[in-house]
């Protein structure tokens, strides 16, 4: 709270974000485990596009073809990953995006597990990148490839935990109201 009792813009934004994360926004996107896994796979495909852009820039830059192919791949990647990450953040109820102080012990444990798995995958990605760079001709590396490669590394590092959490997440327990509806249906039948 800011002085004068008025909530600051950051507090308002945080509470709005928490509200959205606890809502059932776009629920049909992540209602079942297979849909959440499809979302995670789409997110991985989005990340793969940035890596593909790096490869294209490495081999073809500087050229118009390299520029337009890379820009297109980055554009499709953004269009894919933004809604996927949004949906998975709501599905996991902000386990990966809220401050740890806003989470309970189960959510903190789930977050740590997701970070651990993502950390291992990231290590494998780094090893693969090092092997690929050592095996390639590094005498004339286009600057575009370095820039897109760094973007790919950052994006992979940032988004993997959310994708892992979405992939691993079991079906959440039904809400109280859904339980009551089930009981009503059972007693009616």
Partner 1 sequence: MADGKADKEHVHNRIAVLRAERGVSRRELATALGVHYQTIGYLERGEYSPSLHLALRIAAFFEVPVEVVFSLTPFPRLGSA
Residue 150 CB, nearest distance to partner 1 (Å)? 35
Compare residues 35 and 102 and give the one whose CB is closer to partner 1. 102
> Binding residues for partner 1, per CB under 8 A?
93, 103-107, 170, 172-176
- Smallest CA-to-CA distance from 114 within 101, 138, 97, 132 is with 97
CB of 130 to partner 1, least distance (A): 30
Give the Cα separation of 144 and 37 in Å (integer): 32
Kindly state the smallest distance separating residue 183's Cβ from partner 1, in Å.
10
- Establish how many alpha carbons lie within 13 A of residue 120's alpha carbon, considering only the half-sphere containing its beta carbon: 6
Query: Quick one: 54 or 92, whose CB is closer to partner 1?
Result: 92
Q: Toward partner 1, which CB reaches closer, 71 or 108?
A: 108
CA distance 162 to 185: 36
Q: What is the 3-state secondary structure (H, E, C) of 95-109?
A: CCCCCHHHCCHHHHH
* DSSP tag of 62: S
Q: How far is the CB of 90 from partner 1 (least distance, A)?
A: 13
Residue 11 or 175 having the CB closest to partner 1 = 175
């Amino acid at each position: 709270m800011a002085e004068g009792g008025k909530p600051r813009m950051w507090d308002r934004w945080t509470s709005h974000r928490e509200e959205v994360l606890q809502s059932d926004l776009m629920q049909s996107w992540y209602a079942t485990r297979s849909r959440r896994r499809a979302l995670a796979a789409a997110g991985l495909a989005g990340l793969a596009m940035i890596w593909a852009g790096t490869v294209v820039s490495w081999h073809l830059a500087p050229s118009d073809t390299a520029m337009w192919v890379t820009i297109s791949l980055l554009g499709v990647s953004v269009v894919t990953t933004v809604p996927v990450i949004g949906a998975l953040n709501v599905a996991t109820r902000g386990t990966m995006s809220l401050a740890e102080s806003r989470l309970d012990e189960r959510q903190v444990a789930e977050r740590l597990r997701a970070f651990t798995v993502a950390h291992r995958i990231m290590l494998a990605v780094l090893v693969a990148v090092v092997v690929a760079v050592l095996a390639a001709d590094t005498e004339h590396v286009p600057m575009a490839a370095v820039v897109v490669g760094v973007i790919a590394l950052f994006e992979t590092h940032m988004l993997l935990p959310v994708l892992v959490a979405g992939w691993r997440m079991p079906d959440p327990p039904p809400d109280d109201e859904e339980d009551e509806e089930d009981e009503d249906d059972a007693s009616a039948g």
